[in-house]
Amino acid sequence: MIRNILLGAVALGLMSSASYAAAAAGDPAAGQQIFQARCAACHTVTPDGNPGFTGPNLRGVVGRKSGTGAGFPYSDAMKGAGITWDQEKIKAYLAGPPAMVPGGKMAFVGPTDPDDVNNVVAYLASLK
């Protein structure tokens, strides 16, 4: 009886670490939904860019240097930040844009659910 409970606890631990690993990798399809709900008010991901929109076009942002997307008037803070965006850095930025780029103009915090963050960043990484 006690042995079964212990085994169950071990199995549960394994299961939750497996789902954590899946979440860490991120799910681009789920991330697309998050993007529509949380980012698309200010950002597009169309291949032809989006001059005049509130935020820069984010297609190809993973691997790009901060503040260098075409046709967007970035803040001086973002232009001078010298960040090369990878998935971890975008996650850190979403957790607190002013903390990562003080004086930047992305007025936004979140999403805060780690799965949502992983998924939306995986979605951006999937766009070439």
For ligand HEC, the binding residues in 48-67 under the rule CB under 6 A are 54-56, 58, 61, 64, 66-67
Residue 120 makes contact with ligand HEC by CB under 6 A: yes
Binding-site string for ligand HEC from residue 67 to residue 106, where x marks contact by CB under 6 A and - marks none: x-x----xx-xx------x----x--xx------x--xxx
In b/e form, how buried is each residue of 22-50, taking b as 16+ CB within 10 angstroms? Answer: ebeebbbebbbebbeebbeeebbbeeeeb
Tell me the closest approach of the beta carbon of residue 11 to ligand HEC, in angstroms.
34
User: Distance of CA 81 to CAs 6, 34, 63, 77, 85, Å?
Assistant: 50, 26, 15, 6, 11
Cβ atoms < 10 Å from Cβ of 87: 18
Interacting residue ranges for ligand HEC, rule: CB under 6 A:
38-39, 41-43, 54-56, 58, 61, 64, 66-67, 69, 74-75, 77-78, 85, 90, 93-94, 101, 104-108, 111, 120
